[in-house]
Structure 1
Amino acid sequence: MTSPFEELLPATQRALLHRIAVAQSEGRAPSLVAAVARDRQLVWWGSRTSVAGHAPEDDTQYRIGSITKTFTAVLVLRLRDEGLLDLNDPLEKHLSGTGVGDVTIAQLLGHSAGVAAESPAPWWERTPGTLRPELADVLGEQPRMHPAGRRHHYSNPGYTLLGSLIEEVRGASWEEVLRREILEPLAMSRTSTQPRAPHAGGWAVHPWADVMMPEPTEDLGLMAPAGQLWSTAADLCRFAAFLAEGDERVLSAASVREMRAPSVQAETGEWDSAYGLGLQIVRKDGRTLIGHGGSLPGFVAGLWLSVEDGVAAVVLANATSGPLTAAVAADLVRIVAEAEPRIPEPWRPLPEVDQALLQLTGPWYWGTYAFGLRLVADRGLELQPLRGGGRGSRFVAAEGAEGTWTGLDGYYAGETLRVVRREDGSVSHLDLGSFVFTREPYEPGAAVPGGVDPEGWRGM
């Protein structure tokens, strides 16, 4: 039986159509296609075109530019998860002779390696990749603009280096690895390095007249890992679902969460945006969006996902300086999230409970700060302050270490929570990164921060 929640309400659909119609008209795009996914399912798509009877569909290919970088980042994280490299490794350890080998893989992923934003002239996006047959041709004589690790400086050649790293470690081309390790497992059959019909043509629209001319379609060669891909609205919605939850065939949920976390401090005055590992992160309309924008001559693209709302949107257009597709995609997410808020899953009790863990729940005190400890699924714990703001985190049970948990987020991300027991086996206190939590504030006889005044509590 079809669920009544699989389709959007008519009013929501009209609001989405109106938004993309305005974008195509005001942005003067020859065509535009958009799609929205909710909870891993495509729930809407629409398009606008300047050619009567020839509107694109959700499986029409457009070039997606720098959204390609997110795919490249996933391939690098796969190498890390397989133990073939560490993100803190210098590039030189795996790819020699680049001239920037002291930068780390993590710095390249997060655009903090200080590598130049572009390759030397001529403009790499509008010239064939055969003009840059070697990495030295991509990097030029002065590949470094800033000290590594000091600031965010977006770098297209940096992702060329990551593509070459993938090829060096895998012993296969970036295109082959991409197809085998991401596109095939996620059933993204309409994503490719070269256009496949049906696909849109790229156009340049004159800035002061309603006329246009075709843009050339160049094979980017070594620069391909930074922006080569063609894809569709439907395929990118599948990719967005993966970025929300992970897929063990490609990358675990934990590694995808790592990609979504800011990797370097944003520029001064730009605190509403940051960059993770191959993903852009923005705060807009009170929600956090992750994804990426993209452009190449003839095309602009945007993909945004709100993990909390379970809503993703993709917008693709075929004009060099066309609609602000990333902004439009963010608006589509907002329209759906506000018009049709996510319906929570029904509350259900845990399938089983460990009585020893159950006894750990309830109030705990760090000095006089009160916290509550909850038992959640899969033997996990959640520690949150009971009053006002404070440091809280979720914890996952550590494998092979009974009575130990690892922080997933917040202040205690990566820190160890440990249950400390007395000689008789009873619980003495919780140790969290050297902070001691006791059942009573400054509990007499317990290991507490700063000791206990021998006269105890008193009034004025």
Structure 2
Amino acid sequence: MTTPQEELLPATRRALSHRIAVAQADGRAPSLVAAVVRGGRTVWHGSRTSVDGHGPDENVQYRIGSITKTFTAVLVLRLRDEGLLDLGDPLEKHLPGTGAGEATIAQLLSHTAGLAAETPGPWWERSPASLRPELSDVLGEQPFLHPVGRLHHYSNPGYTLLGALVEEVRGAPWEEVLRREVLEPLGLHRTSGLPQAPHAGGWAVHPWADVMMPEPAEDLGRMAPAGQLWSTTGDLARFAVFLVEGDDRVLSAESLREMRTPAAPLDAEEQASGDAYGLGLQVLRRSGRILAGHSGSLPGFMAALVIGVGEDVSAVVLTNCTSGPQPLTVAADLVRIVAEAEPRIPEPWRPAPEIQPSVLELAGPWYWGTQGCALRLTAHGMVELGPLAGAGRRSRFRPNDDGTWTGLDGYYTGELLRAVRRPDGSLSHLDLGSFVFTRQPYDQSAPVPGGVDPEGWRGIA
């Protein structure tokens, strides 16, 4: 997994080292470790200060907190892809008797189920798991704080329910399923529910003095699917590659793209920041870039994993203090440093394999009313539809076996594009979610909704 750091330019490596050095010093962190991934492999690793007297390398475990939720979401998407459930199913259909069964699986994944952010009772992150032995202890007497599906409200108990759902459907403990279906296939051998040496200890740093106190490392019990895991920069770098490329042994690239797609209604603050939440992944806008990933924190630890799909750069940042550094900001900065200093060199253009004449015929300009659009064929067998000039709706489409195309992103995500032909086989128009695209603006020979004035185009009388 690890390749020589010379793959990045010396100036880039120094800028990365400087960024984590500032984060560790200003954040007063006992230690901070980071990695950068590009082209499917680790190209840089850095650390500041020590764990047990030694600088932490890519094999030292830190607690990753809510990054665990992304792992749990992968398990749920696997169940969906196997046809064992639908994301629109109410939880009650598969896990009855929780008291929160009206929420759908998709709403739980996207934190729109209306559930409370935390469990009732003592601060669960610092309390023994024995205080929450049952789901009823996690949810309390009134699990819902908001109407189901109306608001994005981050909920740790929601992911506890998803972990219980995985256990119910698979008939095995959550961590056992995770290890068998995700960790082992991806080679994440240093990711575990309980710490394994070498690992960092968690610390609280006094806000007004340079002194520290050890934090308890509680087993979260029922709450484990929301934040239990320990991992390393080496393992999370591999996980970042998977989140971009997919692995058919675990989850397809298409399902991971679905996880990275915003799924939750945003409040005003989130709309202003451009941040959103998908299915187990945060979607962030930083420095004009769209990033996906997740942050995590538990007493003594803070963590972040972010992926810049467009730049093919990902970053992991782990630290062992309760507060101080901002790992999500630092990770986003590491992506920015590499993306700006060493922009991605595009693959050489090559002509596509032979294309059927009926598909090639679709390429070129089309009009929705008077708005000009262009349909382009890609070398990867997909099509792209976007404005001829300026801003407007832009989407990619993948081919289906029946000659239609399904939208992958943008306004037309999931919508069906089909070419409609006349009885003589000539191309009439494109139908896209009931929108009619014609070769000429308001083509009289095509079934334009509302019809076309028979007198056609004219100047001022």
TM-score using structure 1 length: 0.96
Partner of 1:342: 344
Contact 2:4–2:43, Cα closer than 8 Å, also in 1: no
Output one character per residue of 1:342-400: Cα deviation in whole Å (capped at 9) or x when no partner: 1101111112211221122111122222111111245422111112222222111123x
- Amino acid across the alignment from 1:381: V
The corresponding residue for 1:277 is: 279
Superposed displacement of residue 178, structure 1: 0.4
Kept in 1, the 8 Å contact 2:3–2:42? The answer is: no
Instruction: Check the 8 A contact 1:367/1:449 in 2, yes or no.
Output: no
Please name the residue that 1:165 is paired with: 165
Q: How many residues align?
A: 457
Q: Check if 1:265 corresponds to 2:265.
A: yes
SS of the equivalent of 1:419 reads strand
Q: Does the aligned pair in 2 maintain the 1:419–1:427 contact within 8 Å?
A: yes
What residue is the counterpart of 1:144 in the other structure?
Answer: 144
Indicate how the Cα distance of structure 1 residues 392 and 164 shifts in structure 2: closer, same or farther if over 3 A, else same: same
The 5 Å alignment of 1:302-317 reads 302-317=304-319
Are 1:366 and 2:368 counterparts? Answer: yes
Distance, in Å, in 2 between the alignment partners of 1:147 and 1:3 is 49
- 2:245 corresponds to: 245
CA distance in 1, matches of 2:389, 2:369: 14
Q: Is the 8 A contact 1:392 1:411 kept in 2?
A: yes
Deviation track 1:169-218 (CA, whole Å, cap 9, x = no partner) reads 00011001100111111111111111111111111111111111211111
Change in 2 beyond 3 A, CA 1:223/1:5: closer
1:300–1:322: 8 Å Cα contact kept in structure 2? no
Residue 269 of structure 1 deviates from its aligned partner by 2.4
Deviating more after overlay: 69-78 vs 410-419: 410-419
Distance 2:127 2:442 in 1: 69
Matches within 5 A, 1:7-406: 7-49=7-49, 54-271=54-271, 272-399=274-401, 401-402=402-403, 404-406=404-406
Using the size of structure 2 for normalisation, the TM-score is 0.96
CA offsets, 1:78-112, max 9 Å, x none? 00000000111110000011111111111110111
CA contact (8 A) 2:317 2:330 kept: yes
Distance of 1:373 and 1:3 partners within structure 2:
40
**Alignment CA distance shift 1:377-1:6 (3 Å):** farther
Tell me, yes or no, if the aligned pair for 1:117 and 1:157 is still in contact at 8 Å.
yes
Q: Cα 1:52–1:110, aligned 2, differ >3 Å: closer, same or farther?
A: closer
Identity of aligned residues (%): 72
| Cα offsets for 1:394-438 (capped at 9, x unmatched) | 111123x23x11111112111111111111111111111222222
Contact persistence 1:29–1:319 (CA under 8 A): yes
Q: Secondary structure at the match of 1:270?
A: helix
Asked whether the 8 Å contact 2:3–2:41 carries over to 1, the reply is no
Distance 1:250 1:435, change over 3 A: same
- Gaps of at least 5 residues in structure 1 are none
- Structure 1 residue 329: Cα displacement: 0.8
Give the letter aligned to residue 164 of structure 1: A
* 1:429 corresponds to 2:429: yes
Q: 1:63 to 1:51 in 2, by over 3 A?
A: closer
**Alignment deviations for residues 251-288 of structure 1 (CA, whole Å, 9 cap, x no partner):** 11111011001111222122221111111111010101
By how many angstroms is 1:5 displaced?
9.6
Task: Go from structure 1 to structure 2 and tell me whether the alpha carbon gap of 1:5 and 1:175 turns closer, same or farther (over 3 Å shift).
Answer: closer
Cα distance in structure 2, aligned partners of 1:381 and 1:81: 25
CA RMSD of superposed structures (Å): 1.7
